[in-house]
Chain A
Amino acid sequence: MIDFQLTDKQRQLKDALEGLGRHVVRPQSLAWDRDHTVSEAFLRQFMGMARAFAGEGSAERFLGTGEEPGAGHGADRGAPRGKPSQANRTAAVGAEALAWCDAALLLAMPGPGLGGPPVRSTGTPEQRQRFFGIFKDMSQELRWGAYGLTEPGAGSDVAAIRTTCVKDGDAWVLNGRKCYITNGARAAWTVIFATVDHRLGRAGHRAFVVEKGTPGFSVGKIEDKMGLRASETAELVLEDCRVPEANLLGGADAHASKEGFMTAMKTFDTTRPLVGAMACGIGRAAYEHARYFVRERYLLSRPIPRYAALAERLARVGRRLEAARALVHHAVYLADLEQQNAKEASMAKAYAGQAAVHACTEAIDLCGAHGTLAGSDQLLEKWFRDIKVFDIFEGTGNIQRVVIAKRIVSGLKAF
């Protein structure tokens, strides 16, 4: 039966998060943006509140703090078949709501972050236990995980990574440089992708969990960015960094074939719709801001000449966001059913990224000069600065289109 209704739980989650967003998060957003950080005290407090509202299980899902699948990977694999899980859908609802509050806060939340999915999907049971275990109790110390794939010379072209790994006794020696790694400097561990021989392409790739403090593993530059300024983006340097064999993700067997690597890459199918959901959240924040503005400022009892033109523009923004959300929800729906969703995940991410950039750009126009002013009750300009990267990270808009096109054009091999 076709049904677009959120479950009661999902609605409560959304309402609770947005309530926190309105009263607690947004009043501080601009200060965090200026200070380039969210205080640990606040992160602690916020995790507590989100858990209290969402219930332990669901909070772990969209915050991604738990070992349990946050998203996809057959959330309830092994569980008796019956009603399909809604874990991915709930995660998307939570991600949108949290990004609506403040996307930088979402990225700064403690937990394994983007490092979670590959450990979950590829890690051995021992590795999963060891690497997720540290997030169970963060009462003394907040902890983060990170995902280190991008290099100065390889972003979209993942197969071109040059960070090397060489087996030496019971360890691997890693050399290279990773850039733009979210939470890279603060992470307790980072999943680092390296190659045994770059001529092998993807088949030569290995993924390691490199722990903070490992000799030869250091933090380079912290990026100063247009937006998402309260989220840390770091460069990581590996110089003769010895990583124990036990930290090779999946163990040696998993990497015997190209398949092993593909598993690590498959995590995109579950993270991309969530990134799309976040983009929808920022876009919706901008849209609602503009809608309120148009209603308050332009809807006068006397007729004003350009009202119709503004209203039409507003409607177009809203329509594109609705379309984006529909694609996001379709992609997570397939994930919840444990069906292939690579194409749909890319569609969700590509469309939402673009629709949300459009929403933020247009919202400023609709609010006129007001929209460009920075103020703690005036976050439109911040959302405009935050949104563009949603069309860049987790695969640029063009890369998503490559993924989509390969699945709809017969015989299309490469671009």
Chain B
Amino acid sequence: MLSFEPTEEQRLMRDSVGDFARATLGAHAREHEAMRGVPDAVRRAAFELGLGTMDLPEDAGGQGLGLVTTVLLEEELGRADAAAAFALAGPGAFGTAVAELARPLERAALLAPFASAEAGHARFGAVGWSELRPNAERAGMSTVAVRDGAGYRLSGHKAFVHNAGLAERVLVVAQVEPERGWDGLGAFVVPTDAPGVTIGARHATVGLDCAWFGELGLDAVSVPAAARLEPEGSFTAALVRFFAKRALVVAARAVGLAGRAYDMARSYCDERVAFGKPIGHFQAVAFELADRHMDVESARWLLWRAAWHWDGAQPERAALGASAAATAHALEVAMRTADACVGLHGGIGFVRDLLAEKLMRDAKQMALACPTALLCDQLAAAVEVGAPLDPAAVLPTPEAQAIFVC
């Protein structure tokens, strides 16, 4: 039955996460921005609320809350401070990737450390996917994994890796069969203290600078055969699922940010007087607000719909299509709304006294923090016209757009 109503339980969770987010993240957004991270105490509080592992299956150490609940809660984080949401600890993209790519026993072992009462609040996951430039000679990753006795040797360079400098293990995607192009990838769990692993300098970014982004070098890093994750079904299909699901978490933060920007703009348009009336009474302003309101609401409904597709076990292709649409829309809406928020504030929108300018920078960064809108459209189009999901077209490969994964 069609409903836009969260359950009572979801509402309670949303309220408590919202309270936490406002008081702990939102109220200190500029401090966290300046310190380029969140304090340990905040991470611990978030961990105790169960943030970070909510979407993971219970057999993988998670809370098994499902994606619908996850996006409801992530939206609260994004609304308070999307940048801080990316700086909290937890398995993050690593968790989603392991959940999709690993067998049940492996994933329990890999994710258990994140649930540790003593250390879980300070454990980060990372996924090494992006590369600085496309491989000029062939399709596929330039980072390679070659057979070496019983195990593999990994060499290459991964870029824009979220948490590379903080994680104990990184899930690295490398080319195992070079001749098979994007169908020849493999995933490996690499400890960051393994010989041959180098962590590059942390990048300074236009937005979400609270989170750690940087590079990861792999120089003939040896890993045992067991480090390779092989799902039961198709590897490529699992990879696409990983991107689609993880993107919904980012999209939820984007919707939160957009909602915040919209609310700020709307109340400012009520208060600010020019030419003898509140600026919201000018049609150009009112229409802009109306457009952004449609944007934010529709982005939220698309997000819920996509999450529902996964939780409700809808056909996988439909869930992928819904996720792609939701993500693309949310990312674009966040940028448009934050941009409008700055514009509607006039001069003060450009000044750091208000959060408007930060929302605009964070929104821009977020658009590159998961499969981009353009790529999502590519996936949605493939689903719509019934084309096979060519990994070269639907994975965020460095060939079309360098992106990083959160």
Interface residues of A (CB under 8 A from B): 150, 153-157, 160, 179-180, 223-227, 233, 297-298, 300-302, 304-307, 309-310, 313, 357, 361, 364-375, 381, 384-385, 388-389, 391-393, 396-398, 401, 414-415
B275–A415 CB distance below 8 A: yes
Nearest CB on B from A183, distance (A): 15
Given contacts A300-B136, A306-B375, A309-B374, contact A372 B352 (CB under 8 A): no
Cα separation A174 to B303 with both chains bound (whole Å): 55
Q: Could you tell me how many residues of chain B have their Cβ less than 8 Å away from some Cβ of chain A?
A: 57
- Which residue in B206, B283, B404 is a CB contact (below 8 Å) of A364? B206
Chain B hits for A398, CB < 8 A: 282, 284-285
Instruction: Give the Cβ gap from B269 to chain A, nearest Cβ, in Å.
Output: 12
**B138 contacts A369, C-beta separation under 8 Å:** no
Question: B125 on the interface (CB 8 Å rule)?
Answer: no
Contact residues of B between 263 and 277, Cβ < 8 Å to A: 273-276
Once the chains bind, are B393 and A306 in contact (CB under 8 Å)? yes
Q: Are A373 and B343 in contact (CB under 8 A)?
A: no
Residue in chain B with minimal CB distance to A154: B274
Residues of chain B within 8 A (CB-CB) of A389 are 347, 350
Tell whether B294 is near chain A: CB-to-CB under 8 Å. Answer: no
The answer for the CA separation of A376 and B132 in the assembled complex, in Å, is 18
Kindly supply a per-residue 1/0 record for chain B positions 379-406, scoring 1 wherever the CB is within 8 Å of any chain A CB and 0 otherwise. 0000000000010110000011111100
Q: Point out which of A393, A414, A415 has the most chain B C-beta atoms below 10 A from its C-beta.
A: A415
Among B284, B347, B378, B392, the residue within 8 A (CB) of A155 is B347
Residues of A within 8 A of B401 (CB): 306, 310, 365-366, 368
Chain A residues, Cβ within 8 Å of B159: 369
CA separation between A388 and B402, bound complex, in Å? Answer: 25
Q: Decide if B335 is an interface residue (CB 8 Å cutoff).
A: yes
B139 at interface by CB-CB < 8 Å:
yes
Question: Is the beta-carbon distance between A357 and B339 smaller than 8 angstroms?
Answer: yes
Point out the residues of chain B lying under 8 angstroms from A393, CB to CB: 347
B361 at the interface (CB under 8 A from A): yes
Confirm or deny: B357 has a beta carbon within 8 angstroms of a beta carbon on chain A: yes
Complex interface bits, B341-368 against A, C-beta within 8 A gives 1, otherwise 0: 0110011011111000110110011011
A372 & B206 in contact (Cβ 8 Å cutoff): yes
Q: Residue-by-residue, is B103-142 near A (CB-CB < 8 Å gives 1, otherwise 0)?
A: 0000000000000000000000000001011101111000
Closest to A415 in B: B282
Find out whether the CB atom of A392 lies under 8 angstroms from the CB atom of B352. Answer: no
Cβ B275 vs Cβ A396 within 8 A: no
Q: Are A365 and B360 in contact (CB under 8 A)?
A: no
The answer to whether A415 touches B283, judged by C-beta atoms less than 8 angstroms apart, is: yes
CB contacts (< 8 Å) of B353 on chain A: these are 223-224
Q: Is the CB of A361 within 8 A of B335?
A: yes
Judging by beta carbons under 8 Å apart, are A225 and B350 in contact? Answer: yes
List CB contacts (< 8 Å) of B128-169 with chain A.
Answer: 130, 132-134, 136-139, 159-160
* Cβ–Cβ < 8 Å partners of A179 in chain B: 347
Determine how close the nearest CB of chain A comes to the CB of B38; give it in whole angstroms: 20
B399 CB to closest chain A CB (Å) equals: 4
Provide the residues of chain B in CB contact with A301, threshold 8 Å.
136
Residue among B352, B361, B392, B401 facing the most chain A CB atoms (10 A cut-off): B401
Give Cα distance in the complex from A269 to B140, angstroms: 55
Residue A304 contacts which of B343, B347, B400 (CB distance < 8 angstroms)?
B400
CA distance A156 to B348 in the complex (A): 12
Chain B residues near A223 (CB, 8 Å)? Answer: 351-353
Q: Is the CB of A160 within 8 A of B347?
A: no
User: Which of A160, A227, A357, A392 touches B274 (beta carbons < 8 Å)?
Assistant: A160
Task: Give the Cβ gap from A312 to chain B, nearest Cβ, in Å.
Answer: 10
Given A156-B274, A298-B400, A304-B134: A388 touches B350 (CB 8 Å cut-off): yes
Q: A368-B368, A369-B404 are in contact. Are A300 and B275 (CB under 8 A)?
A: no
Assembled-state Cα–Cα distance A392/B374 (Å): 29
**Is B205 on the interface with A (CB-CB < 8 A)?**
yes
Known: A155-B274, A306-B378, A398-B284. A392 touches B136 (CB 8 A): no
B372 at the A interface (CB under 8 A): yes
